[in-house]
């Protein structure tokens, strides 16, 4: 039997309702905060991520699904969508076309990581990006929006962590301070860290190797090496979060595993998720738009992992029980009158089901119960002749005769009270 590829997963009926609710909440939060949707291809030129995500990141070094297509072009299944949105922003001169560049996107991402709980090779993100605004008050608004999104999903056991990773002015001095602090300890670190020390010392904070952690925990903090404007920016972001009465912790190791970040970084962690606990993460990336060929626009955003949000959402959320009307023909009645009746119910916005397996009334009633039908409509030859139907309420067992002409309206009235409950 052919099975799904390792690290990918099917989202089955019964589970998909939670995904639908998650997507509805995401879109609704975006509407309230003034974001417009953008959809970009899942496949891009490899160079976009090499340049955008960054050559020194684990994503580009080890995790990309890159292949040469039949035309000889090196292409990559997107490991994240931020570079794609920046590309689209530049390619379509959206700065001139949109009154305000606040964009969101949802869809699958691909990273060749070692699969484990909360970590997949194909996973889904809800991603938000804003271009052209440098003000630290946008940083606090975006963080507040992320926290609101998580709260709207009824995830109450989360934790907000923030940091500042400085800018191109203060970063070189910090990298020097890091290397100086490592000095004689560097040979004790893993091969990846030794490579990172050469390519981008800040990436040493991404290391997950257990034996390296005590050395890394003792390294200098970025926030102690910020230039005056980065320090002011960070203080302003913290003030904004305090004004929103949002609890946060400063996490000195939060440099995030991607090269484009500058100044603010943040994550929201799910407290009961285990090792892969980041529900969402993001930060500021002024300079990336220019780096990818656009004008010098500021940028900031975040992405949430939908699989992890689903895991953290309360068990019952998302299960909207839509009423179902089960329509049964009995005796000599052919299926066409019930088909027309079901069509009329559907046209009126109700969910109607017909069993085409030609089973007994008894087994159809059982089946109606199984699929959660709220009402059953029975049409026999007597009813058909008198233009009537027998309506049975599945919850109470009550039955009544209703005329064919009024049944649709009658059910619409009852069902609307059920939906609103
Ligand atoms: P990221 O931290 O790499 O950031 O990913 C964001 C979120 O995606 C993570 O917090 C996690 O919830 C989820 N995620 C990442 N990898 C996996 C995986 N293998 N399996 C399941 N979930 C995963 C970014 O992708 C940036 N583009 C965020 C951003 C947007 N920064 C600025 N704008």
The predicted model gives 174-184 an average pLDDT of 91
Task: Give 285 Cα–ligand 1 centroid separation in angstroms.
Answer: 15
Task: Give 189 Cα–ligand 1 centroid separation in angstroms.
Answer: 26
Task: Give 388 Cα–ligand 1 centroid separation in angstroms.
Answer: 58
Do the beta carbons of residue 272 and residue 158 sit within 8 Å?
A: no
Mean pLDDT of the chain: 94
**Torsion angle of alpha carbons 107, 108, 111, 112, nearest 10°?**
180
Task: Give 124 Cα–ligand 1 centroid separation in angstroms.
Answer: 9
Shortest-distance atom of ligand 1 to CA 308 = 12
Shortest-distance atom of ligand 1 to CA 53 = 27
289-346 pLDDT per residue, tens: 999 999 999 999 999 999 999 999 998 765 556 779 999 988 877 888 999 999 999 9
- C-alpha to C-alpha distances, 82 to 26, 143, 288, 291, 300, nearest whole angstrom: 17, 17, 10, 13, 10
Q: Whose CA is nearest to atom 13 of ligand 1?
A: 305
pLDDT at 396 over 80: yes
The model's pTM: 0.91
pLDDT band per the 50, 70, 90 thresholds, residue 416: confident
Which mutation among 125, 158, 300, 313 tests ligand 1's pocket best, with the greatest number of atoms within 8 A of CB?
Answer: 125
**Residues 406-419: b if buried by 16+ CB within 10 A, e if exposed:** ebbebbeebbeeee
Q: What percent of the chain has pLDDT over 90?
A: 86
Which domains are present in the chain? Answer: 16-170+226-312 (3.30.930.10), 324-419 (3.40.50.800)
Which mutation among 63, 277, 303 tests ligand 1's pocket best, with the greatest number of atoms within 8 A of CB?
Answer: 303
Pocket residues: Cβ below 6 A from ligand 1: 80, 82, 111, 113, 118-120, 123, 125, 127, 129, 258, 278-283, 285, 301-305, 307-308
Do the beta carbons of residue 256 and residue 155 sit within 8 Å?
A: no
Top pLDDT among 100 and 27 is at 27
58-88 pLDDT per residue, tens: 999 999 999 999 999 999 999 999 999 999 9
pLDDT at 42 over 90: yes
CA distance 337 to 193: 73
Q: Whose CA is nearest to atom 25 of ligand 1?
A: 80
Residue 401: other Cβ atoms inside 10 A? 12
pLDDT computed for residue 317 by the predictor: 67
Q: Whose CA is nearest to atom 31 of ligand 1?
A: 282
The predicted model gives 346-373 an average pLDDT of 92
The dihedrals phi and psi of 392, each to the nearest 5 degrees, come to: -120, 130
3-state secondary structure of 56: coil
Residue 275: other Cβ atoms inside 10 A? 9
Task: Give 162 Cα–ligand 1 centroid separation in angstroms.
Answer: 16
Shortest-distance atom of ligand 1 to CA 127 = 30
Among candidate residues 223, 227, 253, 225, the one with its CA nearest the CA of residue 238: 223
Which mutation among 112, 139, 143, 305 tests ligand 1's pocket best, with the greatest number of atoms within 8 A of CB?
Answer: 305
213-264 pLDDT per residue, tens: 999 999 999 999 999 999 999 999 999 999 999 999 999 999 998 999 999 9
pLDDT at 421 over 60: no
pLDDT computed for residue 69 by the predictor: 97
Task: Give 30 Cα–ligand 1 centroid separation in angstroms.
Answer: 18
The least confident of 37-46, 188-197, 280-289 is 188-197
């Amino acid at each position: 039997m052919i099975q799904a590829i390792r690290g990918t997963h099917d989202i089955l009926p019964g589970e998909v309702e939670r995904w639908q609710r998650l997507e509805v909440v995401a879109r609704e939060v975006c509407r309230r905060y003034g974001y417009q949707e953008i959809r970009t291809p899942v496949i891009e030129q490899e160079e976009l991520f090499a340049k955008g995500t960054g050559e020194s990141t684990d994503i580009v070094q080890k995790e990309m699904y890159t292949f040469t297509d039949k035309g000889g072009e090196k292409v990559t299944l997107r490991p994240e969508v931020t570079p794609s949105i920046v590309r689209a922003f530049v390619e379509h001169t959206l700065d001139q076309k949109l009154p305000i560049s606040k964009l969101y996107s949802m869809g699958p991402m691909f990273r060749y990581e070692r699969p484990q709980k909360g970590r997949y090779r194909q996973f889904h993100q809800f991603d938000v990006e804003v271009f052209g605004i440098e003000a630290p008050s946008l940083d606090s608004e975006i963080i507040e929006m992320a926290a609101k999104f998580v709260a709207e999903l009824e995830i109450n056991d989360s934790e907000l962590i923030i940091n500042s990773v400085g800018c191109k002015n203060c970063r070189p001095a910090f990298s020097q301070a890091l290397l100086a602090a490592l000095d004689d300890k560097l040979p004790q670190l893993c091969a990846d860290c030794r490579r990172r020390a050469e390519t981008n010392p800040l990436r040493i904070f991404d290391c997950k190797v257990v034996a390296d952690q005590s050395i890394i925990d003792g390294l200098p903090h970025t926030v102690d090496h910020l230039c005056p404007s980065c320090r002011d920016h960070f203080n302003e972001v913290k003030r904004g979060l305090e004004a929103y009465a949002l609890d946060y912790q400063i996490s000195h190791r939060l440099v995030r595993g991607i090269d484009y970040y500058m100044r603010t970084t943040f994550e929201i962690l799910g407290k009961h998720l285990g090792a892969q606990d980041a529900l969402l993460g993001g930060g500021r990336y002024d300079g990336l738009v220019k780096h990818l060929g656009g004008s010098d626009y500021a940028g900031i955003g975040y992405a949430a992992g939908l699989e992890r949000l689903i895991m953290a959402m309360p068990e019952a959320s998302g299960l909207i029980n839509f009423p179902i009307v089960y329509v049964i023909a009995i005796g000599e009645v052919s299926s066409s009158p019930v088909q027309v009746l079901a069509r009329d119910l559907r046209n009126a916005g109700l969910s109607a089901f017909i069993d085409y397996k030609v089973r007994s009334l008894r087994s159809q009633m059982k089946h109606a119960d199984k699929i959660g039908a709220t009402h059953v409509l029975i049409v026999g030859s007597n009813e058909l002749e008198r233009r009537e139907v027998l309506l049975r309420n599945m919850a109470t067992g009550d039955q009544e005769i209703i005329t064919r002409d009024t049944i649709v309206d009658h059910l619409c009235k009852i069902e609307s009270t059920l939906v609103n409950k």
